[in-house]
Amino acid sequence: MDSMRWTYLDKVRAFLKPGTRVLDLGGGGGDLLLPMLRDGRPAAGLGEATLEQRLAALGVTLYRAQGERGLPFAEGSFQLVLCRHQSFRLDQIRRVLARGGFFLTQQIGGRDSQRPGPADFNLENQLPLFRQAGFRIMYRNQSYEREGGALRHRFIIIAKKK
């Protein structure tokens, strides 16, 4: 069994820069961005601001959307699209990414014993779909880990729009 050689948050952190327009697919994940941007420092003067306001004060604009439907954004709207454990449509992600933009996704693979899915949902079968959709694969990895009696199956893909 391969152990995870990455963490999603570390990979995302490498792409978060002030001024980056970020789309976070699904409902979660945005709350994970704020600590990464602050590097553990408190954000002074932000008080009870919403997550989006707090991120904007740090130079990142966050949008959220569901990935299964068409995304309600113009072509080339984002430099970075994030997707952790959510479904997505590559055609829509490619459309809303700016030229040279990046898509980072970590998925639960089909062999996961806690959240099983189709057995063929894995890194090997997803990579050709990314390439066919017009992405260049920048990083990829897959792990199968035993945690107690459970099998965790995760894979990550970082792709760049050609």
Helix (H) or strand (E) holding 103: strand 97-108
How much is the pLDDT for 86? 85
pLDDT per position as a tens digit, 47-82: 455 667 777 776 766 666 655 567 888 999 999 998
At 9 the pLDDT is: 81
Alpha-carbon distance 127 to 55, whole Å?
32
Under-50 pLDDT residues of the chain? 29, 40-47
What is the pLDDT, as a whole number, of residue 149?
A: 86
Q: Phi first, then psi: what are they for 90, rounded to 5°?
A: -60, -35
What per-residue confidence (pLDDT) applies to 64? 63
Q: How far apart are CA 94 and CA 116, in angstroms?
A: 27
Q: What is the pLDDT of residue 47?
A: 45
Whole-angstrom distance, CA of residue 11 vs CA of residue 27: 19
Architecture of domain 8-161: 3-Layer(aba) Sandwich (3.40)
> DSSP labels for 27-73?
SSSHHHHHHHHHTT---TT-TT--HHHHHHHTT-EEEEE-SSS---S
Q: What is the pLDDT of residue 14?
A: 86
Q: What does pTM read for this prediction?
A: 0.80
